[in-house]
Amino acid sequence: MASYNQFGLCCNRRERVVIIFRFGNSDETREAFNQRRQRCDQTNKDNALLNARSRDVIEELTERHWALMYLQHLATRVIQTNRLEIQFSDLPPIASLSVHDPESSSISLPPPLMYEESIEQHLEVLEQRIKDAQIGKEASWAALSTLALGLTSDIQDNPEDVEIAFRVFNDGSHARFFTGRGDIRCSNWQRFEISEPQERKGAERHIISDRIPTNYISISTSPRRIWNFAIRKPVKADQKIAIIDLRVLRRLGVAYGSSTDDLGFRPLNKTYGTGTMFATKYHLLVLGWLPPRSILGFLSIDQFEALLKQSHIDNSSSENISLPEYDKKIGFSSILQYLPAPAVISPVS
């Protein structure tokens, strides 16, 4: 098999178009024209296949990088227990930072394509690269899960209600839930680097729900506020509410903070037109990742509404909710009735 660096990872090989008619003064026979069209069709099929397999390689390499990045990060947590906070840098404007450059990538790709002896050889190399990347990815995730489980093994008791946060999401959420790994990642996870400094502008864009990928995940410590987001649009069949253990985030060094109390954004004042929309003391921004171990389980919308009623929290669709309603909590003992026993007894890894 040819070495990896003989074939580049290219996902944008263009489709070739054959002129579907012959000019009157052309010497090309119909048979020659048909042969040319067949060659063009075959080239397009080959290019489509090479594009697809190259994308598969990049996807596997990207997820391997994600696991390795957090594995390295968690290794430092063995001797650290402090809570990490989100810090905004005083570096140059966001456009000048390489981490925000759409052309940059956290994956070191091989040199450009040098030569191709055949389509078959190229595909063979891509298939082997996929297998190799998968081996590294699975080994990295196994080590990451083992380390995370060890670091959080002392968190045995149920969390107090002040240590619980919630996230409402569905299959179309920007910060996706990855079923196979059981984690939630920021929408910019393929380019996110935990060691890179963060900027206030990026956090602000996330808070106001700007439709661009960000390095953050939104969660809330207020059940009523989560309810606002759950019912503001027609409820989707796949909509769920994740229960987050803040103690795990602190132990694993996943930085988070209140959009107002910690990050300094002011709540929106509609009268004076000041402040930031959706910024409240209950709105927490989590940097990068919600590890599997931090997710205690999931509630359906109906289950969450039942918990609101049990906890005497206003579950109406009214926009005029008194402020004390947002301070009310749901005890974890009440949530337990809706969680499968394994999700509580055995830590999620």
Helices (H) and strands (E) in the chain, counts: 9, 9
Closest CA to 131 of 57, 66, 59: 57
Contacts for 313 with CB less than 8 Å, ≥ 6 apart = 223, 224, 227, 325, 328, 330
Domains of the chain: 4-146 (no CATH), 157-345 (3.20.170.30)
What is d(CA 346, CA 297) in angstroms, rounded to the nearest whole number?
A: 12
To the nearest 10°, the Cα dihedral for 76, 80, 81, 82? -100
Residue 191 sits at φ, ψ, to 5 deg, of -120, -5
Closest CA to 63 of 118, 7, 124, 144: 144
pLDDT for the residue numbered 92: 43
Digit-coded pLDDT (tens) for 274-295: 999 999 999 999 999 999 999 9
Contacts for 107 with CB less than 8 Å, ≥ 6 apart = 58, 61, 62, 65
CA–chain centroid gap for 33, Å, is 49
Q: Which residues of the chain have pLDDT under 50?
A: 1-4, 6, 91-107, 112-116, 343-349
Count of Cβ atoms closer than 10 Å to residue 252 Cβ:
20
Vertex 230: Cα angle to 310 and 236 (nearest 5)? 115
Quick check: helix, strand or coil at residue 93? Answer: coil
Pairing of strands 183-185, 177-178: antiparallel
pLDDT for the residue numbered 99: 37
pLDDT for the residue numbered 95: 45
Digit-coded pLDDT (tens) for 291-318: 999 999 999 999 999 999 999 999 998 8
What is d(CA 215, CA 290) in angstroms, rounded to the nearest whole number?
A: 12
pLDDT for the residue numbered 118: 83
Is the pTM of the predicted complex or chain greater than 0.85?
Answer: no
Contacts for 323 with CB less than 8 Å, ≥ 6 apart = none
